[in-house]
Structure 1
């Protein structure tokens, strides 16, 4: 199946780019391992490293890595820190992914909850006949090199850790100029590396989807999923409950049928209170879900790499025919017509 999806409506990645302090602890853990005094570096952050909810801007995180590279006299610090990353550095996202049954499930969890770790740009996941392409359409310069290499190499280290296999991607892309030396990058990634590209990318074999993980735990995953959803809502907090509801619905569409009570519970309100809010806005729960589905369907229909069956799956329909009927009810015409118009 060819499929492509981005994170949902009002995505947390649309917020100002920021990084969770728990993620940056990987850097300080590495410096401690190297017996390098990072006291002044820690003070420069102006946040409490024990506060797992604290965040710093993307630029602050990049500059922190750059200062650490000078302190450690290590021009390849980003990939070296990444080699020591563990699930705890990813916070609840790490534990959700680790508890999944397959790597494919873990990749979907990473796509959904990325904003808990670093809010840069929506993860675009494209699946074709041979490969899976994960990309981030955010162009940054050499100031971000250490942080960017830490991000991608850390993801690879984590994948190797949760699968128990020394696997390597088909290729990785960076948006900035190539550094003078690439020995360590080639060693860690063990694949072709390209620079001056239009996006950050990691291209991996499609077979990775089916790889089993070494510590699957469905009960733990369910628990961590709920916690991650709560944290994501806190991260993207807004006073408008309908905005939060739309965001939550967009995140859960692929899970199948949505119920008002489940959404209300995730929003920490009673079903009756949520129903009243909907009525105040002249909207029913069915209309709210349909509105999100319609918006995302139109976005997906613009992507020629997605089949109508893929789109139906991404929107939570069990069959393409059910999606086609719903789309015609929303718009008055078949989804194929919208696709043809988008193709010009």
Structure 2
């Protein structure tokens, strides 16, 4: 089974965060056994992917040495479109929240990929739009928190912050840190031990427009994303989805 792949942008985020703290990722004592692999990953294109298990180990060691359980949230505050590769740029240049979400669902494998990944689902409950995916394994708790935090912070950069408001965030695992860290970052209701991972927003948010929209550039980005997806292996979860569609 192929190991889960995540964006090299996540490693770059950690590097950026440590630099802001006047720390060198290559000088941390806890990461000394991993210096060669870190140098290699950080030398790769930011839009390529590397193994999640290595990222999880690096993050856990760094969190412990820095005594910073909220590290994922502090890193997420530095997120830029390029950390998500072509999908990040597509979200930034989308005309509306609805269009951005369509691309996130369609091309999410360009960010996180592997046999354990299930396609993101979007559905409406009353006047709420819910973007969700299932729980697979507790070992992915850090990845889910990191990705959800990065998606939220990037969305707040793209769309009017005073209008784009989360109604609720749901985690399938138990809190990994004190509850107030989650509340401060997401600024909405946060629930744990739920049946899946999900974001909930008001249906009216779908029509929010981005001042960064660029239809001409979107055509080029769309072709790049389609070519990148076509080059990926088709796992069973995605094969089942295509069969159902």
Tell which structure's C-alpha radius of gyration is larger.
1
- Which of 10, 16, 23 matches 1:29? 16
| 1:20 and 2:12 are equivalent in the alignment | no
- Which of 179, 183, 202 matches 1:182? 179
Q: Which has the higher relative contact order, 1 or 2, with Cα contacts under 8 A spaced 6 or more apart?
A: 2
CA distance in 2, matches of 1:129, 1:193: 19
SS at match of 1:105: helix
SS at match of 1:235: coil
CA distance in 2, matches of 1:38, 1:227: 32
CA contact (8 A) 1:177 1:196 kept: yes
CA contact (8 A) 2:41 2:50 kept: no
CA distance in 1, matches of 2:175, 2:167: 18
Cα deviations by residue, 1:68-106 (Å, 9 ceiling, x for unpaired): 212332111111111111101011001111111101100
CA distance in 2, matches of 1:51, 1:96: 21
- TM-score normalised by L of structure 1: 0.61
Query: Relative to 1, partners in 2 of residues 1:172 and 1:50: Cα closer, same or farther, differing over 3 Å?
Result: same
Cα deviations by residue, 1:304-342 (Å, 9 ceiling, x for unpaired): xxxxxxxxxxxxxxxxxxxxxxxxxxxxxxxxxxxxxxx
Cα deviations by residue, 1:104-129 (Å, 9 ceiling, x for unpaired): 10011111111111123211111233
| 1:59 and 2:53 are equivalent in the alignment | yes
Query: Relative to 1, partners in 2 of residues 1:232 and 1:84: Cα closer, same or farther, differing over 3 Å?
Result: same
Residue 231 of structure 2 is matched in structure 1 by 234
- Which of 138, 156, 161 matches 1:160? 156
Cα deviation, residue 226, structure 1: 0.5
- Which of 115, 120, 126 matches 1:123? 120
Query: Relative to 1, partners in 2 of residues 1:80 and 1:111: Cα closer, same or farther, differing over 3 Å?
Result: same
- Which of 52, 72, 77 matches 2:71? 77
| 1:146 and 2:142 are equivalent in the alignment | yes
- TM-score normalised by L of structure 2: 0.84
SS at match of 1:35: coil
The CA RMSD measured in Å over matched residues stands at 2.6
| 1:38 and 2:43 are equivalent in the alignment | no
CA distance in 2, matches of 1:154, 1:113: 16
SS at match of 1:125: strand
Cα deviation, residue 140, structure 1: 3.0
- Which of 32, 42, 51 matches 1:49? 42
CA distance in 2, matches of 1:81, 1:51: 20
Aligned residues: 232
Query: Relative to 1, partners in 2 of residues 1:140 and 1:80: Cα closer, same or farther, differing over 3 Å?
Result: farther
SS at match of 2:209: coil
Q: Which aligned runs of 4 or more in structure 1 are off by greater than 6 angstroms?
A: none
Query: Relative to 1, partners in 2 of residues 1:207 and 1:45: Cα closer, same or farther, differing over 3 Å?
Result: farther
CA distance in 2, matches of 1:205, 1:59: 35
- Which of 207, 210, 214 matches 1:210? 207
Query: Relative to 1, partners in 2 of residues 1:92 and 1:223: Cα closer, same or farther, differing over 3 Å?
Result: same
